[in-house]
Amino acid sequence: MVLWKGRFFDFLVMPEMVTHSFTRSASARMTPRSLSSPRVSFHRKWWAPGLSLNALAVTFLLVSLVLALGCVIYLYVFRFLGRGLLVSGFVGSTEGCDVFDGSWVQDDTYPLYNSSECPFAERGFNCLANGRKDTDYLKWRWKPRNCDMPKFNVREVLESLRGKRVVFVGDSMSRTQWESLICMLMTGVEDPKTVYEVNGNQISKTIRFLGVQFQTFNLSVEFFRSVFLVQQGSPPKHGPKRVRMTLKLDRMDEINQKWVDSDVLIFNSGHWWTPSKLFDMGCYFQAGGLLKLGMSINSAFKMALETWASWVETMVNTNRTHVFFRTYEPSHWSGSNQKACKVTQQPLTEAKGNDRSEFAEIIAQVVSKMRVPVTVLNVTSMGAFRSDAHIGTWSHPSTILDCSHWCLPGVPDAWNELVFSYLLTNGWRRLGR
């Protein structure tokens, strides 16, 4: 993985997890503007001393060249906005590798675990246990185009996490990644009884906190449900009747203090930022105590991310804590009303799906302005190929059709592989471990 460091942050690269940097999203669509250099007449006396006009022309030419070079460099670097940037230390990489630019390749050494043998994998994500017969979807590994990702070494990862705390914060996709990591790590544990949920809870989407302790390694892997990251609350008095609740875009979720004291902190948000989850439910935006009834979802998402960024800068000790933000994971709903769900048997040859790329661009914009290092996991286009890996009709109960969430084992395993490839190759060293 090759690390590219910006002035205040570092990033990962992917199509659509390991150090990377995002650049300004708007520049993803920018095209270089031509800078015209002044015409210079190369007659015999052009270099002659005392000719102030010619000296001025030379100076102007040099300044123009410097500006042009600066623009080229800026556009070259920041054109990756919304994709992620370079990962450090990957095998075969000499100058950098966009780990998000790649493809899924068949690999018979996969999957990395059996969900039915992992007590922390939800039945709803265990597609084989729910009747899926084909197993081809389990045999795919993410391969960056210009480098190789080191294979997940569970013993090495467990040793590197000894005495540490890993925290996931977000929606059900975050919970899926949390479950995936626990199941991956359990394959390296000699006595499964030494791994337990700290409160004795069964895995459920209704519980706001779930924590699994790996006793032998003094390791805690936790999940906090916070689908918007910011605070949900009651509407202000005398507001319109249609406003039944609000999102306070300038306030972090009230449980944010519980996330701080961690070694690895992984956020995601996006799937609940839709009209059906917000406006149709009577949930509108609020900031500074005022309702923002006309605010668009994209603008609200950006304001919420700016609140999150400020919180990270002021509350998180990034000399200890590695902060990641994972981009939106594409779904593969189809049909005129986007309610049809057709699960294929093979990955798509072209990236398709409702990838919500504008969310990735907003994340890039916000993170690029942060004063502390944050690693963006730009997994959006990775998942856009995997129409074969969704739960589909193999849910629990079976009446639920699902082209958003992923089967386990599956796509979320690759996210964790990227995170820990980065941490083992570069991240721990960056903090002087």
The reply to whether omega before 397 is within 30° of 0 (cis) is yes
CA distances, 321 to each of 26, 165, 364 (Å): 29, 10, 20
d(CA 144, CA 151): 13
Q: Tell me the per-residue pLDDT of 54-71, one tens digit each, with 9 for 90 and over.
A: 666 666 677 667 666 655
- Most trustworthy range by pLDDT among 22-26, 31-35, 202-206, 363-367: 363-367
Exposure of 250 by Cβ count < 10 A (0-12 exposed, 13-18 middle, 19+ buried)?
middle
Residue 143, Cβ density class (10 Å: 0-12 exposed, 13-18 middle, ≥19 buried):
middle
* Cis-peptide, bond into residue 111, ω within 30° of zero: yes
Share above pLDDT 90 across residues of the chain, in percent, rounded to a whole number: 62
DSSP string, 393-414: T--SSTT--EEEEE-SSSHHHH
| Distance of alpha carbon 92 from the chain centroid | 24
Q: What distance in Å separates the CA atoms of residue 215 and residue 186, rounded to the nearest whole number?
A: 12
Q: Using an 8 Å Cβ cutoff, are 382 and 15 in contact? A: yes
Rounded Cα gap, residues 171 and 308, in angstroms: 15
Please give the mean pLDDT across all residues of the chain.
Answer: 82
What is the mean predicted confidence (pLDDT) over 200-223? 94
pLDDT at 123 exceeding the cut of 50? yes
Separation of CA 148 from chain center = 20
Tell me how far apart the alpha carbons of residues 232 and 246 are, in angstroms, rounded to a whole number.
Answer: 6
| CB contact at 8 A, 154 and 185 | yes
Is the pLDDT at 427 greater than 90, yes or no? Answer: no
Token pair for 73: 């460099």
Distance from the first to the final alpha carbon of the chain = 18
pLDDT, tens digit, for every residue of 15-38? 333 333 333 333 333 333 333 333
- Range of weakest confidence among 149-153, 187-191, 252-256, 389-393: 149-153
User: b/e string for 361-380 if b means 16 or more Cβ within 10 A?
Assistant: bbbbbbbbebebbbbbbbbb
Adjacent-strand bridge partners of 168: 223, 266
* 392/403 Cα distance (integer angstroms): 5
Instruction: Copy the structure tokens of residue 227.
Output: 């689908």
Calpha distance 366→276 (Å, rounded): 25
CA atoms of 412 and 56, how far apart (whole Å): 60
Model-level pTM? 0.80
The dihedral formed by the CA atoms of 417, 418, 419 and 421, expressed in degrees to the nearest 10: 80
Q: 111: closest CA among 145, 158, 160, 152?
A: 152
CB 228 within 8 A of CB 286: no
Structural contact between residues 406 and 344, judged by C-beta atoms closer than 8 angstroms:
no
Structure tokens, 310: 């400020």
